[in-house]
Structure 1
Amino acid sequence: MNNPSLISCNAIIAGFIHNGLFEEAVLLFSELRLFGLKPTSVTMLSVIQGCVGLESVGMCGCIHGYVVKIGLDLNISVVNSVLYMYLSLGNLDIATDVFDKMASRDVISWTTMIGFLVRIEQASNAVKVFHRMRENGIDPDMVALVNLLTACSLLGDLMRGRLVHNQIVVAGFGSEITVVNSLITMYSKCGDLYFARRYEQNGDPREALRLLIRMRIEENFSPDPILLISSVTVCGQLAALELCKQFHAYIFGASFVSHNSVQNSLVGAYLKCGDVELAHKVFNEISCKTIVLWNAIISGYGINGKGEAAVALFRDMEKSGKEPDNVTYLNVLNAHSHSGLVDNGLMIFNQNDERKKKVRLRGEHCGCIVDMLSRAGFEEAESLRSNMRLKGLVKNQGVSLLDVTSCNFG
């Protein structure tokens, strides 16, 4: 190839890696300078994969040095790959040094480190790294929580395992098959065969609630905020309104009303139970309202057919200084659709200034408008087509307007 572009070279290197041709990938990388091309982060991510495939300590060291030389040691994706590269070689000392010197770390950085420590059965160190991650304000993802469950299994730490289980319920990962299997393993290895069998048979929110009740009765301790969030979340999943009210009363009596995360879970639970009035009452008591909370309350009112109230909340959110996002507009349009407020819905759709609001309309927003118009007899179908063109939304040829998944950006 004469005078190849960097894009072409990156594509070829990635192709070599995909097909297991690691030596060819590294050789092509070494020739980039002959073409006068400077590698980017995309190039280095592929080359690092090649070094992992070659399992060459010397090559890994050279690539790491080159990453630092060209200033990509500040690119978190590249440094995460370097970290993974050393861990793949089993070199924990160098990997730890890379990890400690990272300018910033994301959840992938922490999860990579925790996962390796669990694999080599350094469970105590894995737990310590997890705590460091939380102290740094990083929320764990499903992979991190599964790794922590495995660490609890290795340590035989049932109490910690139960606390991790609570976090999993709060995060909404309880139904994932990987999580269910890890929970069964953890309870079995920690000696709680009863719950391991029960969870294996069911694996549903009811089991999570039974666990919380058992912990309360058998171990005689008062629920903390995490435990209460778990309990209230499960009540919402089961649409158990009376149980939600009981937990609400306990939260009030135990002076947990100042914990915004507990109050947030109550709002979500009441909305899932269909009691928007109680949800709104709790919502008003929360001092620091996040965009997620605003979206939840707007959605709850819309789903329950209270479109005008949902729109009023939307206006209140704007007045409070919160910037609407994609989810906000989706919820507002849904509220108009469920309540038959066609004119107002079209007005919001028309007035949305994407450059000002920094909101990019998607197929889901088109779907709400289509649904709203279809409920109203479809008189405004042509108006919708015009709006879609103005907003940069294109309908694929040969597809019905009702097939909203075909809406995409032109």
Structure 2
Amino acid sequence: MASFSTAQPLSLPRHPTLSNPNQPTANNERSRHTLSLIDKCSEIRILKQIHAQMIRTGLFNDPFSASKIFSIAALSPFASLDYARKVFDQIPQPNSFSWNTLIRAYASGPDPARSIRVFLDMLSESHCHPNKYTFPFLIKAAAEVSSLSLAQSLHAMAVKSAVGFDVFVANSLIHCYFSCGDLDSACKVFTTIQDKDVVSWNSMITGFVQRGSPDKALELFKKMETEDAVIKASHVTMVGVLSACAKLRNLEFGREVCAYIVEKRVNTNLTLANAMLDMYTKCGSIEEAKTLFDSMEVKDNVTWTTMLDGYAILEDYEAARDVLNAMPKKDIVAWNALISAYEQNGKPNEALSVFHELQLQKNIKLNQITLVSTLSACAQVGALELGRWIHSYIKKNGIRLNFYVTSALIHMYSKCGDLEKARDVFSSVEKRDVFVWSAMIGGLAMHGCGNEAVDMFFRMEEANVKPNGVTFTNVFCGCSHSGLVDEAESLFKEMESSYGIVPEEKHYACIVDVLGRSGYLEKAVKFIEAMPIPPSASVWGALLGACKIHANLSLAETACTRLLELEPRNDGAHVLLSNIYAKSGKWESVSELRKHMRVTGLKKEPGCSSIEIDGTIHEFLSGDNAHPMSERVYGKLHEVMERLKSNGYEPEMSQVLQIIEEEEMKEQSLKLHSEKLAICYGLISTEAPKTIRVIKNLRVCGDCHSVAKLISQIYDREIIVRDRYRFHHFRNGQCSCNDFW
């Protein structure tokens, strides 16, 4: 939830103020004056001067005075941990207050684990014992490093020290267990608290929300209202509850919560107002969100970005853009929100346009979220040059390759046709999670490297990384494009029994595709009949595609019928069946199918191919004349086709969907396919030996596949075509798919 980013303490339990039980008072006027200076100190330089004065006068030998200057050095807004540790080491016999202060400072610092080492020093080097002020900060450190074993050990020590049931210690444990993902232990601790305070309830509610159980958070809030009349909900409570409503898209209860806030006069600070706004936008009530937004006297960047997100969710990009333009101070979060909205909703070109605009902004630094979203957009449109620039930017600025950035780079290079670079990125990182492995397996699969994809799967297993559903989808695709039937069947059988992953629709569709592409059509049908779930459109689509490859007309008609029962407006199914009819010479059936499409208003998705030249994406539709260089493109196309004919090329007329009587017109229709235009533009825009990379939105047709093979041989150019399903690497008259696609 966006509003949580400005209110990190909301999820943390409240701690008591540290107290020093032994506070000797200074007896002379000079001591009182020095101590008053400590209270007024506002920078570390002055504190060091006071420290020096205390050493010269002997005041530092007073335990109370020493602990006072130490606590300022450790916990003040201008604190310095290194200096504080030096002050601590000068204290002859630090008391419990000083030890707890040092533990607290380290627990809140950049290296929380150091607080544990201080605690161990306290146990071994002093006569002080841990108390109820010690454990909350140690437990906080365990939460920061997400160490469940450490949390359990501290919990046991707290119980043995007779403070395990203290409300502050218990609240810390609840937060820690949630941070470590142990919800059961958090719930058990909650039930042991005799006198729960509002923080106890808040820690549970917020923990459930952050750990993906928003329904339990709402149940707990209702229980709090009915069972604990003494506890009054705070703005922290309401933020957690509203966040749960947002995650559940429960607008009705969200409205009740907003009314509750007014009725109970809950302090509505900016964080809570932003949470209300976020709930309205996530639940799709943009009008209520706009009303609240307009009424807010104080707004921060979270407010503006939440509103921008709300419009983006509803795909009202013009309104989202207006919000961005109206922002008093545009930060990277707002830019990321718009880029991500475009990218995730299938508008990669618009996402890249916003990114290019962002590049012109001064004093805004790109972050990992920016890069991941933009790399994903690059992958969608094949913008390899921009993807390479982003990779260089990452290296130049020393940006850490976390799992998300690494996966995005591998995905971008793979989908833009540079598999070797994807391999380089994968090899360059030492730590890899399931998403990094899956991205590499997917890249190998789409490029037809099925055996390598399977080997990578087992390497992943050896690395003790557990696969997920995406991993299996990717490796099955690799098997499909390489005819690895035995490997796919073996892995499918082990999915649930060995890996605990229940097969989903997409996995069944993959296996049907593996069997069908390899010619085992009867086996594929039996597999479908034995499925424990109803076959989806993708399952029947996989079978229909296999029927086209193997020219099985009767089974194709059955598969198409079943597919259209589920998706009557599926234009791809009509086109596939029409192509099968055409390949079989059944032009009357083609005519009837085309008539049906006209009557029902169903139109074939137009073929569109794109090619990137000098960082600019050029798009071509079939028969396109819109490109400024179309005259030269068609001139090159004519030259290419004549040269191919002299080398034995004959057009594949079965690829013509329309009923065209004249052979010359059929040939002309084939010539105008978008991938041919894009390849010709690549020939006139680049010099050999530069690779020509083309992205097509549909499956490449057989005729264009044959033409690309011949061009690669006659013009001595490597051509890489990415269609809807896979990559085709054309070299020396051959394709990497071995005509198996």
TM-score normalised to structure 1 length? 0.56
SS at match of 1:289: coil
* 2:321 counterpart of 1:184: yes
Choose from 247, 250, 254 the match for 2:390. 247
Q: What is the match of residue 282 of structure 2?
A: 143
Q: Is the 8 A contact 2:214 2:247 kept in 1?
A: no
**Aligned amino acid, residue 419 of structure 2:** V
Q: Is the 8 A contact 2:528 2:535 kept in 1?
A: no
CA deviation after TM superposition for structure 1 residue 370, in Å: 1.8
Q: Deviations over 1:178-212 (max 9, x none)?
A: 463662352354379xx99xx9xx96433433333
* 2:482 counterpart of 1:336: no
Q: What is the match of residue 27 of structure 1?
A: none
Distance in 2 (alpha carbons) for counterparts of 1:110 and 1:340: 44
SS at match of 1:218: coil
**Aligned amino acid, residue 177 of structure 1:** L
* 2:489 counterpart of 1:346: yes
Q: What is the match of residue 247 of structure 2?
A: 108
Choose from 489, 504, 509 the match for 1:367. 509
Distance in 1 (alpha carbons) for counterparts of 2:222 and 2:321: 29
Unpaired segments ≥5 residues, structure 2: 1-200, 226-231, 541-557, 567-741
Q: Deviations over 1:347-366 (max 9, x none)?
A: 3334x162332122233222
Distance in 1 (alpha carbons) for counterparts of 2:301 and 2:236: 32
**Aligned amino acid, residue 512 of structure 2:** V
Q: Is the 8 A contact 1:229 1:262 kept in 2?
A: yes
Number of aligned residues: 304
Q: What is the match of residue 40 of structure 2?
A: none
Distance in 1 (alpha carbons) for counterparts of 2:467 and 2:317: 36
* 291 and 404 in structure 1: CA distance in 2 versus 1, 3 angstrom threshold: farther
Q: What is the match of residue 361 of structure 2?
A: 218
Q: Is the 8 A contact 1:333 1:369 kept in 2?
A: yes
Q: What is the match of residue 285 of structure 1?
A: 428
Q: What is the match of residue 108 of structure 2?
A: none
**Aligned amino acid, residue 446 of structure 2:** I
Q: Deviations over 1:139-168 (max 9, x none)?
A: x9x829999x97988556569857997xx7
Q: Deviations over 1:99-151 (max 9, x none)?
A: 5899x979738998999779999682248769xx9xxxxxx9x829999x979
**Residues 118-157 of structure 1 mapped to structure 2, 5 A cutoff:** 124-126=270-272, 143=282
Distance in 1 (alpha carbons) for counterparts of 2:378 and 2:398: 20
* 270 and 84 in structure 1: CA distance in 2 versus 1, 3 angstrom threshold: farther
Distance in 1 (alpha carbons) for counterparts of 2:442 and 2:404: 19
Bigger radius of gyration among the two:
2
**Aligned amino acid, residue 413 of structure 2:** Y
Q: Deviations over 1:380-400 (max 9, x none)?
A: x347736974x756779xx95
Q: Is the 8 A contact 1:364 1:404 kept in 2?
A: no
**Aligned amino acid, residue 398 of structure 2:** S
Choose from 63, 80, 86 the match for 2:218. 80
Q: Which structure: greater helix fraction?
A: 1
Distance in 2 (alpha carbons) for counterparts of 1:216 and 1:125: 30
Q: Is the 8 A contact 1:114 1:129 kept in 2?
A: no
Q: Is the 8 A contact 1:233 1:269 kept in 2?
A: yes
Q: What is the match of residue 235 of structure 1?
A: 378
Q: What is the match of residue 349 of structure 2?
A: 206
* 209 and 94 in structure 1: CA distance in 2 versus 1, 3 angstrom threshold: same
* 332 and 144 in structure 1: CA distance in 2 versus 1, 3 angstrom threshold: same
**Residues 8-87 of structure 1 mapped to structure 2, 5 A cutoff:** 77-80=215-218, 83=221
**Aligned amino acid, residue 440 of structure 2:** I
Distance in 1 (alpha carbons) for counterparts of 2:311 and 2:434: 24
Q: Is the 8 A contact 1:301 1:310 kept in 2?
A: yes
Distance in 1 (alpha carbons) for counterparts of 2:408 and 2:307: 18
Q: Is the 8 A contact 1:236 1:272 kept in 2?
A: yes
Q: What is the match of residue 38 of structure 1?
A: none
CA deviation after TM superposition for structure 1 residue 261, in Å: 3.0
**Aligned amino acid, residue 385 of structure 1:** K
Q: Is the 8 A contact 2:239 2:275 kept in 1?
A: no
**Aligned amino acid, residue 271 of structure 2:** N
* 316 and 106 in structure 1: CA distance in 2 versus 1, 3 angstrom threshold: farther
* 292 and 282 in structure 1: CA distance in 2 versus 1, 3 angstrom threshold: same
CA deviation after TM superposition for structure 1 residue 296, in Å: 2.3
Q: Deviations over 1:1-25 (max 9, x none)?
A: xxxxxxxxxxxxxxxxxxxxxxxxx
CA deviation after TM superposition for structure 1 residue 306, in Å: 1.5
SS at match of 1:219: coil
Distance in 2 (alpha carbons) for counterparts of 1:404 and 1:306: 30
CA deviation after TM superposition for structure 1 residue 405, in Å: 11
Q: Deviations over 1:318-360 (max 9, x none)?
A: 111122223222221121112222232233334x162332122
* 263 and 368 in structure 1: CA distance in 2 versus 1, 3 angstrom threshold: closer
* 329 and 371 in structure 1: CA distance in 2 versus 1, 3 angstrom threshold: same
Q: What is the match of residue 355 of structure 1?
A: 497
Q: Is the 8 A contact 2:476 2:488 kept in 1?
A: yes
Q: Is the 8 A contact 2:406 2:436 kept in 1?
A: no
Percentage identity across paired residues of the two chains: 21
Q: What is the match of residue 526 of structure 2?
A: 385
CA deviation after TM superposition for structure 1 residue 265, in Å: 2.2
* 328 and 80 in structure 1: CA distance in 2 versus 1, 3 angstrom threshold: same
The root-mean-square deviation of aligned C-alpha atoms, in Å, is: 5.3
Unpaired segments ≥5 residues, structure 1: 1-67, 88-92, 134-139
Q: What is the match of residue 264 of structure 1?
A: 407
* 304 and 205 in structure 1: CA distance in 2 versus 1, 3 angstrom threshold: same
* 224 and 85 in structure 1: CA distance in 2 versus 1, 3 angstrom threshold: same
* 190 and 174 in structure 1: CA distance in 2 versus 1, 3 angstrom threshold: closer
TM-score normalised to structure 2 length? 0.33
CA deviation after TM superposition for structure 1 residue 293, in Å: 2.5
